[in-house]
Structure 1
Amino acid sequence: MLEWEAMILRVMGLLAAAVVGVAVPGVAVAADDGPQQVCEVGDKRLTELSGLAATGTGYVVVDDSSDQASHRKIFYLTKKCKVDRTVSYPSRPRDTEDLGIAADGTLWVADIGDNNGNRATIALWRLAPGAKEPQLYRLTYPDGAHDAEALLLTRAGTPILVTKSIASASVYVPDGELKAGKTTTLRQAGSVTVPVTGTSNPFGLPGRLVITGGAVSPDGRHAVLRTYADAFEFEVSGDDVVGAITKGTPTQIALPDEPQGESIAYTVDGTALLTVSEEKDGKDAVILRYPLADRAPVTIPPTSAAPSATTSSAAPAAAQKVAAAEDGLPTGLIVTGGVLVLAAAILGGLLLRRRG
């Protein structure tokens, strides 16, 4: 670790000690029974796992390493985390960071990472059931480049992207239909700010403030966003995932000390969350299972017409943020906590960007 990085971490530690005492009213904390180890991912092509989804026969994962051709694939794993098969991209992806499975079984891979903030376009890869290779759809932000690592899919098939911005993340949806060979402009549908917690993680306070993955439950009634430290689950009504994450009050589920947690998914029956991190110090990545207390197995509601390759992107605009003072926090505490979070964010931003 460089000397300046160590200095940043020391300063952030002092700031974190002050900020952790700032409580967030109304945020429920799930019972912590600890994770269950599912299996180890031993394949050396999968050392920087960034996206995860569960299937009836196992798991689907993507690796965010684009330097080696052998890593640039979609990997299907068995329930014991062994590679069963792979699917290649027809052209080189830039930085695949998340994935999700739509209600009709279509797999979407989010090629949305941009550590240097210089991509003119980002991409979604669509792998229809039975297809031999995914189809590329290009997108562009209306307000310049953003780094992002979280993809959410509504049951209607609308992709939702959440940026990896410290403290307040932007939420984007396509402003029109996705068409192969064309570039679709995104529009900002709102923003989301995750509560500040004290959960231990390798990046300290900044690791608690950036969103690194997302998922929607199989029945569409819950959505989850994760940081390097925690998961935050929201209740979804009427397939309004954007409204849920921008206006709802989440339940916190601690994901402590994952080496570099950037993946999250629901089990097929919706009764637990699954995570997987990167390989660390030569040790294989491990899929972990976090049971959701009192969660009954899902009953999948019927869907309307399955989304086609040309995907509708209707999504509600986000409501205006409610002032923190209206939630009952003392003004002085809000200001102090906000200043400390901002200071830590400035110090930590460069470090997180370097680590990807």
Structure 2
Amino acid sequence: MRVFERAVGWPGWCGAAGAVTLLVLSAPTSAAGSPPAATPPKPGTPVCRVQDDRLNEISGMVATDAGFVVVNDSADEEPRRRIFFLDADCAVVRTVRYPSRPRDTEDLAIGADGTVWVADIGDNDRSRQTVAVWKLPKGADRPVLYRMTYPDGPHDAEALLITGDGRPVIVTKQGGAAGLYSPSTSLRAQATVPLTRVGEVRLPATTTSNPFSFVGRGLVTGGATAPDGRRVVLRTYADAFEFDVTGGDVVAALTTGAPRVIPLPDEPQGESITYSRDGRFLLTVSETADQPPGTKPTILRYPVAAPPSPTPRQSVSAPAAHATNQPNQRRDNVTELRSLVAAVGALGLGLLVVGLVGMTWLRGKRR
């Protein structure tokens, strides 16, 4: 897996950095005149350590009532190409083989019915004609393959989300504006379904420490949907970004919502994220293939605040309407500003014309 890909010079980075600079300059200062030191983000709390040697490239994880499910990323060795079921202590208790060789499994998701979705969507070289998801129904012995194709050429992707109506949403990895793609029709086994670009998500800039510096803060490496369906989270190598979801509309949440930022500082190569079954924590785990010998993947836990429950007088759809109206309001404000500038410009031009006519008239009178 290539961390740096085409990240250098992604659109919008300089502007984001400028915004951060302004915030620093406007920060309150201490009596000595220097800004107060920022509290460093807290690392995650260890939950358990994975001891199985086959699991050193964990790229996707979901939590279950009995423990966890994980997959490796593009493992070259056949024993690593499995869907691994772990207990609450991170011990492997079951494995499921693929009926054919996967290409590059990068994320996991779990549906409300217990179906495990394996996102076979990695494409470091951007050369794949199709990507795929594998669906493993609860209790099944073999996953089923569903192929898809992008409408605008290959993309590298490492994050998969599931909408309220059970549709997958692929989030591409590139920094700046990550593309959102979803199947245009129902998935069909032994068929290739076209994907549709349904939007893009722009994550706010952060300064969280991570092994890949500013590049690591912009690349989307994983995603998850909360068990209650009311939140989704995307992660980079540095942070998690949590969005509120209304009515199961994941795309609207990502394209119009403002995320809460949860720092994930200094994880070795963090590509996996999921929610605990009660939704109170985010769980992460890093790849360890390139770490010092003997390093084992450790599942970490970060607390998150649950969204407030709707009151009896508050419609469940109200937050979505509010979220949708926010960008509309911003667009209205921009339109009003442009109109004001245009009006001022027209007035200035009119005064200039009047002045020129007046000067010409005066010159004529002097003659």
Task: Work out the CA distance in 2 between the residues paired with 1:34 and 1:205.
Answer: 19
Q: 1:197 aligns with which of 203, 206, 213?
A: 206
For the residue of structure 1 that corresponds to 2:254, the secondary structure is: helix
Alignment TM-score, normalising by the size of structure 1 = 0.76
Q: Which residue of 2 aligns with 1:281?
A: 292
Q: Which residue of 2 aligns with 1:152?
A: 161
When residues 49 and 36 of structure 1 are mapped into structure 2, their CA distance, relative to the original with a 3 A threshold, is same
Task: Work out the CA distance in 2 between the residues paired with 1:253 and 1:327.
Answer: 30
Q: Which residue of 1 aligns with 2:95?
A: 86
Q: Which residue of 2 aligns with 1:175?
A: 184
Are 2:58 and 1:46 equivalent residues in the alignment?
no
Q: Which residue of 2 aligns with 1:120?
A: 129
Give RMSD over aligned pairs: 3.1
Which residue identity is paired with 1:37?
P
For the 8 Å contact 1:16–1:204, the answer to whether it is kept is no
When residues 148 and 327 of structure 1 are mapped into structure 2, their CA distance, relative to the original with a 3 A threshold, is farther
Q: Which residue of 2 aligns with 1:292?
A: 304
For each residue in 1:210-268, what CA deviation from the matched residue of structure 2 results, as whole angstroms up to 9, or x when unmatched? 11100010000111000110000000000001100111000000001111111000000
Unaligned runs of 5+ in 2: 9-13, 25-39, 310-323, 335-367
Which residue identity is paired with 2:86?
L
Are 2:217 and 1:217 equivalent residues in the alignment?
no
Which residue identity is paired with 2:78?
A
For the 8 Å contact 1:271–1:295, the answer to whether it is kept is no
Q: 2:268 aligns with which of 234, 242, 259?
A: 259
Q: Which residue of 1 aligns with 2:197?
A: 188
Task: Work out the CA distance in 1 between the residues paired with 2:164 and 2:47.
Answer: 27
For the residue of structure 1 that corresponds to 2:252, the secondary structure is: helix
Note the C-alpha offset of 1:134: 0.1
Q: 1:64 aligns with which of 67, 73, 81?
A: 73
When residues 284 and 250 of structure 1 are mapped into structure 2, their CA distance, relative to the original with a 3 A threshold, is same
Note the C-alpha offset of 1:65: 3.0
Q: Which residue of 2 aligns with 1:206?
A: 215
For the 8 Å contact 2:42–2:265, the answer to whether it is kept is no
When residues 80 and 35 of structure 1 are mapped into structure 2, their CA distance, relative to the original with a 3 A threshold, is same
Task: Work out the CA distance in 2 between the residues paired with 1:36 and 1:147.
Answer: 31
For the residue of structure 1 that corresponds to 2:106, the secondary structure is: strand
Alignment TM-score, normalising by the size of structure 2 = 0.74
Task: Work out the CA distance in 2 between the residues paired with 1:203 and 1:326.
Answer: 39
Which residue identity is paired with 1:42?
Q
When residues 324 and 281 of structure 1 are mapped into structure 2, their CA distance, relative to the original with a 3 A threshold, is farther
Q: Which residue of 2 aligns with 1:270?
A: 279
Task: Work out the CA distance in 2 between the residues paired with 1:85 and 1:275.
Answer: 21
Task: Work out the CA distance in 2 between the residues paired with 1:50 and 1:69.
Answer: 16
For each residue in 1:158-182, what CA deviation from the matched residue of structure 2 results, as whole angstroms up to 9, or x when unmatched? 1010000111100000000100010
Task: State how many pairs are aligned.
Answer: 294
Note the C-alpha offset of 1:189: 0.5
Task: Work out the CA distance in 2 between the residues paired with 1:166 and 1:106.
Answer: 30
Task: Work out the CA distance in 2 between the residues paired with 1:37 and 1:220.
Answer: 25
Note the C-alpha offset of 1:294: 6.2
When residues 287 and 326 of structure 1 are mapped into structure 2, their CA distance, relative to the original with a 3 A threshold, is farther
Q: Which residue of 2 aligns with 1:308?
A: none
Task: Work out the CA distance in 2 between the residues paired with 1:83 and 1:248.
Answer: 38
For the 8 Å contact 1:190–1:319, the answer to whether it is kept is no
Q: Which residue of 2 aligns with 1:236?
A: 245
When residues 92 and 105 of structure 1 are mapped into structure 2, their CA distance, relative to the original with a 3 A threshold, is same
Note the C-alpha offset of 1:156: 1.8
When residues 241 and 183 of structure 1 are mapped into structure 2, their CA distance, relative to the original with a 3 A threshold, is same
Which residue identity is paired with 1:137?
Y
Identity of aligned residues (%): 54
Q: Which has the larger radius of gyration?
A: 2
When residues 22 and 199 of structure 1 are mapped into structure 2, their CA distance, relative to the original with a 3 A threshold, is farther
For the residue of structure 2 that corresponds to 1:21, the secondary structure is: helix
For the 8 Å contact 1:16–1:205, the answer to whether it is kept is no
For the 8 Å contact 1:230–1:252, the answer to whether it is kept is yes
For the residue of structure 2 that corresponds to 1:162, the secondary structure is: strand
Q: Which residue of 2 aligns with 1:162?
A: 171
Q: Which residue of 1 aligns with 2:348?
A: none
Task: Work out the CA distance in 1 between the residues paired with 2:286 and 2:199.
Answer: 28
